[in-house]
Structure 1
Amino acid sequence: MSDSNSADTTARHSLTLFSALAVRKALDEVVLPAFTRDSGVSVIPVFDPTVQLVRQIDAGTPFDVMIGVTDSFFPLAERGLVDLDTRTAIARTGVGLAVPPGTAHPDISTRDALVTTLRAARSVAYSRTGASGLYFAGLLRDLGIADEINARATVIEKGFIAEAVVDGRADIAIQQLSELLFVPRADIVGPLPEEVQHYSQFSAIVSTRTARSAGAAAARSLLAHLRGPLAAEAYTRTLLDPVTTY
């Protein structure tokens, strides 16, 4: 078999998926195994915050499908790296707060209650590059408490932030609700109050290279699966809201 035929076979029977962390639990546990079982196409996932995924793409790392914060696709499309016509909204999630296991749940029912809780914390953990961390850093500035909280904050480059409340580095963790679930020993208090809540919408998109290759049909099949009823159930169980419209 020639090298070109081998490449086409690989494109048809495996896909490289760049995916944001927020949907990882649903994908790992349900969505991707079901897709491979039903289609015969294996999926090689790479999970990272959207910002990190974009950096990899800009560095030339090849991928077939990306799941990320929807707004991140437009600059990529302008550079000819993704096919905007394939953009498919799949889910959204809000930002939540977690505390160490067995700890009394603080009051976060209102904006003022959240401010009081954050000020009382020994250390607040959040991400430096994740969508929730970028939003929270801005929220602290908007609330007028950025200097006070950041003076003792535990700022983590990326990953599952609730690990910091389990290992003792912090007593509050801020991250998207679906990501807090990845640390089962942490206690999720709940979402931030609606008046300061921020929802991140996640969509899937096909790379321009793949859209023009023998792997296009498999990639579009994956997009349809990510929008299907089984995936919607998995999103709901992992504190994501399935999205059906833009």
Structure 2
Amino acid sequence: MTRELRVFSTIAVQSVLEELAPRFEIANGIRLEVTWNTAPVLVKRLQGGETADVLILNRAGIDTMTREGRVLAHSEVTLASSATAIAIKAGAARPDISTPEALKRTLLAARAISYTDPAAGGASGIYFAKLLERLGIAEAVNAKTRFPPPAGLSGDFLLTGEADLAVQQIPELLQVPGIEIVGPLPGDLHMVTVFVAGIEAQTPQRGAAAALIDFLRTDTARDVFRAKGLDP
């Protein structure tokens, strides 16, 4: 009988894991049951009593779970990191985001933008909301902002014409065909998120969980991480 391994994973690595999962499953005779969401939502679900065998979260999420005794000691492994970036619909005029001041002008000039709702807990959304406050344009920009649904993709609004600019982490932007990444946030506004895997402390499948994490550190996996916009 095929074993099942339950994984709680942030959506930032969804494109990577979806490509690698079939290879791991065939090689190990283990089926992955993956729950996707933002790291803070997954942390809340774990705190509410849900369980998983493997956790793939941002650094803050893993640190929280470690403090609460939910991550097996010494099982944490850094998988990759990604930057938050700006995207446009393919073929649209490329805006100037070369400096913080240029980005500010571009955001104010845009008809509408989309970024992850900070209330949903996504790292890029929380950071970008604070960035708007820092630039002194939060009220003006948020008045013309469209938030994707929880665990959704801001780039989808570029395709429908509901936004001119989309802000999210690079691997999430790359999941939307028909859009182009202009570049990461400039200068001292640059923001990188680190993603970490760990074994849930109470899982009865420590061996299988360790096998998955080891697989995600192979050269083959690293190549996929790079292709999907992450830096392993």
| TM-score scaled by length of structure 2 | 0.94
Q: Deviations over 1:19-49 (max 9, x none)?
A: 11111111112x2112112211111111111
- Match in the other structure for 2:208: 218
Separation in structure 2 between the aligned mates of residue 15 and residue 194 of structure 1, nearest angstrom: 41
Matched, 1:204 2:193: no
- The correspondence of residues 1-246 of structure 1 with structure 2, limited to 5 A, is 13-29=3-19, 31-128=20-117, 129=120, 130-158=122-150, 159-210=152-203, 213=204, 215-242=205-232
Structure 2 counterpart SS, 1:203: strand
Identity, % of aligned positions: 36
Most deviating of 37-46 and 230-239 = 37-46
1:110·1:195 contact (CA, 8 Å) conserved in 2?
no
State the Cα distance separating 1:101 from its structure 2 match: 2.7
Is the partner of 2:98 in helix, strand or coil?
Answer: coil
TM-score (norm 1): 0.89
- Residues 54-101 of structure 1, C-alpha deviations (whole Å, 9 max, x = no match): 121112122110111012122222222222421110000000111123
Query: What is the CA RMSD across the aligned residues, in angstroms?
Result: 1.4
* CA shift digits 1:128-181 (9 cap, x unpaired): 121111110111111111111111111234211100111122111000000001
Within 2, Cα distance between the matches of 1:191 and 1:79? 34
Residues 101-126 of structure 1: per-residue CA shift (max 9 Å, x gap): 32111011111111111010111111
Distance (Å, rounded) in 2 between the aligned partners of 1:178 and 1:197: 16
SS in 1 for 2:75: strand
2:192 and 2:45 mapped to 1: Cα distance? 24
Separation (CA, whole Å) in 1 of partners of 2:64 and 2:17: 25
Verify the 8 A CA contact 1:73 1:84 in the aligned structure 2.
no
Contact 1:63 1:207 in 2 (8 A): yes
* 3-state SS, counterpart of residue 235 of structure 1: helix
Counterpart residue type for residue 142 of structure 1: R
- Give the secondary-structure state (helix, strand or coil) at the position aligned to 2:66: helix
Q: Secondary structure at the match of 1:209?
A: coil
Shift of 1:191: 1.5
SS at match of 2:202: helix
Instruction: Give, in whole Å, the separation in 2 of the partners of 1:226 and 1:194.
Output: 31
The residue matched to 1:85 in structure 2 has which SS? Answer: coil
Poorly superposed stretches of 4+, deviation over 3 Å: none
